[in-house]
Chain A
């Protein structure tokens, strides 16, 4: 059976972070700081643009999950996801392989700003791009959950090549599985996506699948440049 890519398109105005969210992400609540003023200005400009985030997924039947070997096969295509991700997906009877991009604007602009020595502005536009693509993917993730719920199926977190010991090079397998799609994302020989503000990965689907606490909430990295753990400790 031919695989179908379920496409979702969101105007940037719907998936851009709010000013509060961006300010929290960057630890920037000083409303007179140039970073804050730039955030206000740039978000406003982007909200009125006609650009959009594009993404979606292809759902396939899971043939096998070998946790110890760190392998997962979906409709005859084998993924070397590593033991950790395989463990998280062991209850999956189906899997959604996804792609999503916020577009080339963010990385192109960040690159140009960095080249001009405007590092602060580059940092902010890069952060807006990161949050935007994740927010678009959150919507797609939610749409998948909604689609599966009437069938009595639940979904897992999303996992991406490059993270949780899933080798980045497996990105090639993922793109091969997804096939033709309207996102326009391309892969370099070293498996890096273009546009940079893009995400890809897998979501497990099954009657016993569940979502787990993830990311900054559970991370213990005290030297992360975003200093999340410092904020959590302060909040305790």
Chain B
């Protein structure tokens, strides 16, 4: 891998945002994700190459470490912050079409439920994996998902719930959305949700953690 991209990968993996960021201590005083991305673009490295060879693999690596219990939420969030610092310079190329997003993922915590930490993590990781993410927030109704799908045809949908008493609202949303958008694929996740429950309510996939969401989305693309 290009040395600059290798450095950028490391910055995102360990949450080194910019030169001024004192963390991690062993990288103090060094350039961070922000400066390295600017530098890479200035050197003519294609934004898509920056995404594919540095940013996406770095977030995948962090997601894998989270799955394995080697890092926890704060480390993931710091990596996401470094990723976002880099994305600031890449985003203009998304709008110009020079960098293509893999697709659109609409996500929300189901109505009756206000828990959003897990859902926010999924948003960051999926965006970091090269997808456009439309976050409908918490307490999201079927109508809200239908509206978002009208605006983003062809998008995939993620539903999150933390309570056994609200996860049943996932089925209501899936059924109502399918009445209007019969081909939409759903991924469900959250503490009380299981693969069996996902199958039972007609979801197309169950994600135990953010990495699973990414794998499922890639699977939908390649199906």
Contact = CB atoms under 8 A, between A and B. Distances in A.
Contacts of B121: 225
Given A168-B163, A168-B165, A192 B84 contact: no
A34 B23 contact: yes
Contact of B77 (A32, A119, A166, A188): A119
B114 interface: yes
A233 B75 CA distance: 21
A123 B73 contact: yes
A168 to B, nearest CB: 5
Q: Is the interface of A mostly helix, strand, loop or mixed?
A: loop
Interface in B147-176: 163-166
B72 A162 contact: no
Contact of A32 (B25, B81, B112): B25
Given A34-B23, A223-B208, A225-B117, A120 B78 contact: yes
Interface in A169-183: none
B111 A225 contact: no
Contacts of B81: 117, 119-120
Contacts of B23: 32-34
Interface string B177-217: 00000000000000100000000000000001100000000
Contacts of B22: 32
B64 interface: no
Contacts of B24: 32
A223 B209 contact: yes
A104 to B, nearest CB: 13
B30 to A, nearest CB: 15
Interface of A: 26-28, 32-35, 114, 117, 119-120, 123-124, 126, 161-168, 188, 190-192, 196, 221, 223-227, 230
Interface of B: 15, 21-25, 69, 72-75, 77-78, 80-81, 84, 111-112, 114, 116-118, 120-121, 124, 139, 163-166, 191, 208-209
